[in-house]
Amino acid sequence: MTLAKVADSRTYYPEIGELCGVLLRRKERFAKTAVGWILRDISKYDIQFVRQLIENNIKGFTAKSLKNAIRYLGKDIQKQYLDILNRD
């Protein structure tokens, strides 16, 4: 199954959300980078899922992983999340 099919199917969202939360709590930069990549692709299909996951886990993101996750969201939304991350 391709990533596009996974991202387009809500069937996997509960597992993706749970695993992203686990990875964002880890200290390794590459774990957080992986979350940014998967959320970037899912945002092409379901912005609300991505926004909810970011809002629930904002403190776990690095600037780089967050920028990847929000790449396809609007500039205003990108600024909002980056401001929240930089504020904390």
* Per-10-residue mean pLDDT, the chain, length 88: 68 94 96 97 94 97 97 96 90
- Interatomic CA distance for residues 38 and 12, integer angstroms: 12
**What length does the chain have?**
88
The answer to whether residues 47 and 36 touch, using CB atoms and an 8 Å cutoff, is no
pTM for this structure? 0.88
